[in-house]
Amino acid sequence: MIIEEMTMAEFFEGLKLTRTVYIPFGSIEEHGSHLPLSTDTIQAYEVGKKAARRIPLFVAPPIHYGNCRSTSCHPGTISISTATLKGLLKDLIRSFRAQGLKNFIVLSGHAGGAHCMALQDAGEELIVEFADITVAVVTEFNLAKDAGREIIVTSGDAHAGEIETSRIMHTHPHLVKGKGEREFPQFPRGILVRNKRNFWPNGVWGDPTQATPEKGRLLEEHIVDEIVNLALGLTNFQEEQIE
């Protein structure tokens, strides 16, 4: 059930099938010279929509902006503060709860440390605020990374590399402009730098030349499985808490 495509009546009927909503968070962030700025958002939204084809699941419109520190000086990256991000998630869940939703899967396509911590902090505060909800906060990258141990050949692949390039080659091949080049940033150990692009010029962390659409398909299938299992698990957990 794709919320942005539903009518009021369809949403109301959907509540009879499930009280779980999937909320995808992405970013507008550089992904090398070969992937679109919306890569994180595309990945997060796609797996949610595919999970909803298998089980009753509300899928919220994606949040296109995130907190992007390491890439803030690269062309095209548009970042919001962690306070804004945290407040946005809390407002969304409060509003979804008012509409009858009880279980929330927050999946981030962007894996920045501060970004993910802000989402987790928001979730932790919300489960204290409301005793009748369950919240899961996960990152798309970690799910893909776990699945990719037997699929991905690039050690340490993290951003716009083999994993993400494979994913976009599979779902949105028309948005891939070439394959990019292998790159690993060389940040000084322990020193905070103002312009990280000086140490990470091309915005790739991994090896996109190893990417294939088939790898992307396999990774996506695994992540969809994980989301389905998580949605079912949240429902069971919610029922146990009520009992």
- Residue 117, pLDDT score: 97
Q: Which amino acid appears at position 82 of this protein? A: T
- Residue 238, pLDDT score: 60
- CATH of the domain spanning 19-186+193-237: 3.40.50.10310
What's the full length of the chain, in residues?
A: 243
- Residue 57, pLDDT score: 97
Q: How many CB atoms lie within 10 A of CB 37?
A: 19
Average pLDDT along the chain: 94
- Residue 27, pLDDT score: 98
Question: Alpha-carbon distance 174 to 176, whole Å?
Answer: 6
> Quick one: average pLDDT of 148-159?
90
What is the band of 141 on the pLDDT scale with cuts at 50, 70, 90?
Answer: confident
**Span 24-78, pLDDT tens digits:** 999 999 999 999 999 999 999 999 999 999 999 999 999 999 999 999 999 999 9
DSSP state of 137: E
Sorted by where each begins, the domain ranges of the chain are: 19-186+193-237
What is the band of 18 on the pLDDT scale with cuts at 50, 70, 90?
Answer: very high
Residue 166: pLDDT above 80?
A: yes
- Residue 239, pLDDT score: 56
What is the band of 235 on the pLDDT scale with cuts at 50, 70, 90?
Answer: confident
Sheet holding 134-139, edge to edge: 58-59, 20-25, 103-108, 134-139
What is the band of 1 on the pLDDT scale with cuts at 50, 70, 90?
Answer: very high
- Residue 146, pLDDT score: 73
Residue 145: pLDDT above 80?
A: no
Question: Alpha-carbon distance 190 to 126, whole Å?
Answer: 33
Question: Alpha-carbon distance 121 to 114, whole Å?
Answer: 10
The percent of residues above 70 in pLDDT, for the chain, comes to 97
**Span 167-199, pLDDT tens digits:** 999 999 999 998 899 999 989 998 988 899 999
Structure tokens at 119: 């989402």
Structure tokens at 186: 């060389």
The percent of residues above 90 in pLDDT, for the chain, comes to 87
